[in-house]
Amino acid sequence: MNDDTRKKTPAGVRGRLPLLAALLFGLTACALSAVDVKVQDWWAARGPVVPHDSFPADCTLCHTGTDWNTIREDFEFDHEAETGVALIGAHARAECIRCHNDRGPVEIFAARGCAGCHENVHRGQLGDRCIDCHTEQDWRPRESIAEHARTGFPLIGAHAGVSCWQCHAGAEEGIFSGVSTDCASCHAADALAATSVDHLAQGWTSSCDDCHAPIAWTRSGFKHTGFALAGAHAAADCSSCHVGAVFAGTPSDCAACHLAEYQATTEPAHAAAGFPQDCQACHDANDWDGASFSHTSFALNGAHAAADCSQCHVGGVFAGTPSDCAGCHLGEFQATTEPAHAAAGFSQDCQTCHDVNGWGGATFAHTAFALTGAHTMADCSQCHIGGVFAGTPNDCAGCHLAEFQATTDPNHVTAGFPQSCDACHQTFAWERASFDHTSFPLTGSHAGADCAQCHIGGVFAGTPTDCASCHQADYLGTTDPNHVAAGFPQSCDSCHTTNGWGGAQFDHSSYPLTGSHVAADCTQCHVGGVFAGTPSNCSACHLGEYNATTQPNHSNLGFPTSCDACHTTFMWEGATFDHSFPIETGKHKNLDCADCHTTPMQFSTFSCTHCHEHRQSEMDDEHDDEDVQGYVWSSPACYSCHPDGKADD
């Protein structure tokens, strides 16, 4: 109801609308009489079921002045907004009197729901919510059969098209609660009437869904769980296996149905060969042809795969057939002459050298002696003379002793070389032999030297590895410096490398050479070529410079003779003295030695008083003002209190 309507509606009527909305505004379906009929006449004609007497007698509040069936155009009433009940479907078309009658006030409808108007014909079996199964359009049940799924028995297939009363029978209105969901409750008669297979004799009277689907009876599909139906079995008629329509106890082994075929088979004769009666070991369920035996005990590969069964299974005998090579190929083994297998004592295990593709291209696994280089191209008879294979030696001298003895450059026999040729030679060729000179590595010039230079006379055994054994003459003949006079060790590698004599470098670790010492000639320190006992102290070489120095006079001042106390090895100039009194910083920085050491050439004495406040009286007063204890006017006393040269020490 809008605001305009509310203003036009009397307060007495408007106040009762929320309570009696369904009674007042269903008048669109009421059949009223002539326009001038009084309210009292309507009351008399319809009876006291609609409480119009409680409303004003001014009918024009709702009706037009032309006829009772027409409601005023400006009259609006929202039944759902005003009452909380929406009039949809058949409710919107119903006369007001259908709900607003003598059954009681409209509040009963709100409390009882559908049952307030609609009698429960189901006797409470399905609850009192009509809307769960019916729509507001009419009483016919909802079109969706999915609602039935909540009962635990979904309606699918043919069940979806049957009438409710076909299952829910027993009374005029039908029974819904407690109805059984097992097949026999509805279909026991169908099971008893089946004649293609006597269901009663087989005990098939209850669980129809074991074979039938809810689509139709004629589309039976039995779940053949005990014996899977595949291939030709799937197309076979049930009576082929279940003779006389007997299903219980039907065997599932192959021989139960196919023993006749097994016994009649001659290619090969299954019974004579002792084949198992388990047909599926070789056959599949599609047909008898194309049988394949799983040759697991002896894999059929190569030429074996194409061989006829009778080639190995002579006379159709399968049991006990040997699987070793000689069982079939002993004749070939004995007849082979290139090489003669029997004479050579070859193993009768043919696959040691041959493969299953053919006899040609045999390869022997030469594991005891690996064939590499020229050995791979050698003929077997070169090592296995006379076709003898057993006991053939695999050491080098077994085949190459003649070459060993005939070699003169160098003479292997005289040199006492070992007869294991692979110590120097490789299997590709005799040339380019290389000896593993591990006891004395050949580096530098040694690598290019001829063996005879060290191994004189072709003698190799006992050749010494020390330097002097070969280079004694070089050692004795060296004069710059004279190695003998200098007492140098005869281990040449102390100073020299194997690349050449020039550029020798002595490890001067006992006295490291730095600065000007690096460029000095050895004779400057090692006078007369004498190296042993050469002193390492400074004065041994530089005492003359020490004595000749006058600025300052090192000798008179008692300077130490260890030059490195003030000087470096690079040059004499720029000497630095470790002055305990700071002369590098503060006011004493850059003073000349004579500024403090006033006595010429006397560095052990110094003067402070001649620079600091020449008047003693001023210093006396200053120290007295500061109350300095033990003050004395003397240079040693100044240094004693001011060792860092600072006034506030």
pLDDT tens digits along 365-376 = 787 888 899 998
Residue type present at position 83 = T
Contact 213, 221 (CB under 8 A): yes
- Of 12, 179, 162, 6, nearest to 77 (Cα)? 6
Residue 504, C-beta contacts closer than 8 angstroms, at least 6 positions apart: 495, 496
639's enclosing H/E stretch is helix 635-641
Q: How confident is the model at residue 54 (pLDDT cuts 50, 70, 90)?
A: very low
* Mean pLDDT of the 73-102 span: 75
Q: How confident is the model at residue 6 (pLDDT cuts 50, 70, 90)?
A: very low
* Mean pLDDT of the 70-94 span: 78
Contact 126, 132 (CB under 8 A): yes
Residue 83 lies in a domain: yes
Structural domain span for residue 594: 579-649
* Mean pLDDT of the 60-70 span: 73
User: Does 12 lie in the same domain as 83?
Assistant: yes
Most confident among 19-33, 214-228, 332-346, 574-588 (mean pLDDT)? 332-346
d(CA 604, CA 635): 13
User: Does 94 lie in the same domain as 8?
Assistant: yes
Contact 414, 389 (CB under 8 A): no
Residue 12 lies in a domain: yes
Phi-psi region for residue 472, left (φ > 0), alpha (ψ -120 to 50) or beta?
Answer: alpha
User: Does 285 lie in the same domain as 188?
Assistant: no
- Please determine, for residue 497, whether its predicted confidence score (pLDDT) is greater than 70: yes
Q: Higher model confidence: residue 613 or residue 106?
A: 613
Residue 615 lies in a domain: yes
User: Does 111 lie in the same domain as 195?
Assistant: no
Which pTM does this prediction carry?
0.34
Q: Higher model confidence: residue 65 or residue 283?
A: 283
User: Does 100 lie in the same domain as 16?
Assistant: yes
pLDDT of residue 24: 33
- Please determine, for residue 345, whether its predicted confidence score (pLDDT) is greater than 50: yes
Q: How confident is the model at residue 17 (pLDDT cuts 50, 70, 90)?
A: very low
Q: Which of 72, 92, 116 is the last residue of a domain?
A: 116
- Of 60, 109, 105, 55, nearest to 87 (Cα)? 109
The percentage of residues in the chain with a pLDDT greater than 70, rounded to a whole number, is: 85
- Please determine, for residue 330, whether its predicted confidence score (pLDDT) is greater than 90: yes
Q: Which range, of 101-110, 213-222, 446-455, 575-584, averages the lowest pLDDT?
A: 101-110
Partners of 213 in beta bridges = 216
Residue 501 lies in a domain: no
- Please determine, for residue 342, whether its predicted confidence score (pLDDT) is greater than 50: yes
Number of domains present in the structure of the chain: 4
Partners of 500 in beta bridges = 497
Residue 218, C-beta contacts closer than 8 angstroms, at least 6 positions apart: none
User: Does 259 lie in the same domain as 197?
Assistant: no
pLDDT of residue 36: 34
Instruction: Please spell the DSSP secondary structure of 464-533, one letter per residue.
Output: --STHHHHHHHHHH-BTTBHHHHT--S-GGGT-BTTBSSS-----TTS---THHHHS-HHHHSGGG--TT
- Cα Rg, the chain, nearest whole Å: 66
Residue 271, C-beta contacts closer than 8 angstroms, at least 6 positions apart: 262, 263
Partners of 266 in beta bridges = 269
How many residues are present in the chain?
649
Computed over every residue of the chain, the mean pLDDT equals: 79
**Which residue bears the tokens 């088979």?**
265
- Please determine, for residue 430, whether its predicted confidence score (pLDDT) is greater than 70: yes
- Please determine, for residue 588, whether its predicted confidence score (pLDDT) is greater than 90: no
pLDDT of residue 43: 42
User: Does 39 lie in the same domain as 106?
Assistant: yes
What dihedral angle (degrees, nearest 10) is formed by the CA atoms of 507, 513, 516, 521? -40
pLDDT of residue 32: 31
d(CA 136, CA 514): 117
SS3 213: strand
Residue 54 lies in a domain: yes
**Which residue bears the tokens 């193993």?**
347
Instruction: Please spell the DSSP secondary structure of 595-608, one letter per residue.
Output: HH--STT--S---S
User: Does 99 lie in the same domain as 13?
Assistant: yes
Q: Distance from CA of residue 24 to its chain's centroid?
A: 78
Residue 136, C-beta contacts closer than 8 angstroms, at least 6 positions apart: 88, 89, 90, 91
Residue 121 lies in a domain: no
Q: Distance from CA of residue 174 to its chain's centroid?
A: 66
Residue 352 lies in a domain: no
- Please determine, for residue 519, whether its predicted confidence score (pLDDT) is greater than 80: yes
d(CA 306, CA 356): 11
d(CA 350, CA 599): 117
SS3 408: strand
Q: Higher model confidence: residue 393 or residue 461?
A: 393
Residue type present at position 328 = C
Q: How confident is the model at residue 247 (pLDDT cuts 50, 70, 90)?
A: confident
Residue 363 lies in a domain: no
Q: How confident is the model at residue 171 (pLDDT cuts 50, 70, 90)?
A: low
SS3 550: strand
Partners of 482 in beta bridges = 479
Q: Which of 116, 141, 169 is the last residue of a domain?
A: 116
- Please determine, for residue 645, whether its predicted confidence score (pLDDT) is greater than 80: yes
d(CA 125, CA 511): 121
* Mean pLDDT of the 119-144 span: 72
**Which residue bears the tokens 């369904």?**
22
d(CA 479, CA 486): 10
Instruction: Please spell the DSSP secondary structure of 77-132, one letter per residue.
Output: --HHHHHS----THHHHS-HHHHSSTT--THHHHHHGGGGTS--TTTTTT-S-GGG
pLDDT of residue 145: 67
Q: Tokens for 449?
A: 């030297």
Q: Is there a cis peptide before residue 636, judged by omega within 30 degrees of 0?
A: no
* Mean pLDDT of the 439-459 span: 86
How is residue 411 annotated by DSSP? B
pLDDT digits (tens, 9 = 90+) for 605-625: 888 888 876 678 888 888 888
Q: Which of 93, 116, 139 is the last residue of a domain?
A: 116
pLDDT of residue 461: 78
pLDDT of residue 112: 56
Q: How confident is the model at residue 142 (pLDDT cuts 50, 70, 90)?
A: low
Instruction: Please spell the DSSP secondary structure of 299-323, one letter per residue.
Output: ---THHHHS-HHHHSGGG--TT---
Partners of 63 in beta bridges = 71
